[in-house]
Structure 1
Amino acid sequence: MTRTPVHHVEDALEHLGVVRSHLDHVPTQAGLALDAVCMRLSAAIESIGRLPGPMRDAVCSGKWDRARGLRNRLVHGYESVEPAEVLRALERELDPLERGLHDAATPS
């Protein structure tokens, strides 16, 4: 079965939903919760990366390079990623990213 852009959007939204649930545990189980957040965030960004370029760029509000860079640091240089950096990025970008994905999934 060929995966469509809508499938990738749904995958990304599912991963980001799990990210939100893991964020609830950061205050009490920081290490475990941040590991889970980083894994799901990198998976969400990977799904977004499978979208057609214009759709991907719209979903990321023109910040695809920053999202891809964060994913690469999470996957390839995890020990050098500062947890506070991830939390700041999520605080700033999670809502707009989810809105962009919902917009992409909604037919015009």
Structure 2
Amino acid sequence: MAGKRESREEPGVLARLRAVPHLFAKCIVIHCVVCGTLACWYALRILSRTGRDPAALLGVILAFFGGELLLLCLKTVLKEKPNQTKEAGQEPGKEDEP
């Protein structure tokens, strides 16, 4: 006898996550935006309670997460296409002249 679970052939959670393109990049972007928002909220809380300017703290935190996003962007822009093949002695971006 086949039960209800055996008759359905739905992919599991892991298979669904593997099907999402650029999942790591999307998670990193969401993480950086959320952490930057929380840092801004905390800096405003410090400013409202103590009256001192937390600009240095906020600048360091936002620079860190901005750097993470910049590295992710550079990784995406500078990666090689998988369908290009390198031949011996040929540099990428250079075409052979006839």
Is the pair's TM-score, using the shorter chain for normalization, greater than 0.5? no
TM range (shorter): 0.3 to 0.5
TM-score normalised to the size of structure 1?
0.36
> Which structure features the higher share of helix residues?
1
Larger Rg: 2
TM-score by length of 2: 0.38
Greater RCO, 1 or 2 (C-alpha within 8 Å, sep 6+): 1
